[in-house]
């Protein structure tokens, strides 16, 4: 959802809403709520407000229409990984793996654009 659409916070034991992340290598289509190809000449796209909740990962229970996307602190990736997030997709998740699609929390110079 868009930041303006947030009316209340979830209960403390049900996670939190987070905002300010970017997708690198793809874009999040807010109209259809799925990952799509990047727009020409756009390295990053803004992720809307997402609901973040911790749970025990079970690879057998992962939705086949979701891409498990790594979330990094910075564009340098590597040891800056924070967690994995599920993003819905109409395409095979392997496409996004091969493309190196990731979510970035801090992109230098992008906060001024928002």
Answer for the pair 101, 71: CB distance below 8 angstroms, yes or no.
no
User: 30 is in which domain, residue-wise?
Assistant: 17-106
From 40, 45, 41, 38, select the one nearest 114 (Cα to Cα).
45
CATH number of 59's domain: 3.10.490.20
From 114, 100, 76, 84, select the one nearest 26 (Cα to Cα).
100
- 27 is a domain residue: yes
Structural domain count, the chain = 1
**Predicted model pTM:** 0.79
- 5 is a domain residue: no
Task: Please report the pLDDT score of residue 2 as a whole number.
Answer: 64
- 112 is a domain residue: no
Task: Please report the pLDDT score of residue 113 as a whole number.
Answer: 47
- 11 is a domain residue: no
For the chain, list residues with pLDDT below 50: 111-114
- 40 is a domain residue: yes
- Per-residue pLDDT of 25-43, as tens digits, reads 999 998 898 999 998 888 8
């Amino acid at each position: 959802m868009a930041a303006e659409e947030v009316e209340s916070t979830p209960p403390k034991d049900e996670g939190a809403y987070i905002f300010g992340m970017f997708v690198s290598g793809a874009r999040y289509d807010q109209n259809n709520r799925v990952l799509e190809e990047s727009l020409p000449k756009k390295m990053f796209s803004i992720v809307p407000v997402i609901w973040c909740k911790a749970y025990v990962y079970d690879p057998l229970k992962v939705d086949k229409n979701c891409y498990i996307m790594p979330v990094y602190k910075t564009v340098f990736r590597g040891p800056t990984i924070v967690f994995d997030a599920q993003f819905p997709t109409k395409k095979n998740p392997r496409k996004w793996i091969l493309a190196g699609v990731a979510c970035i929390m801090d992109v230098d110079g992008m906060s001024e654009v928002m």
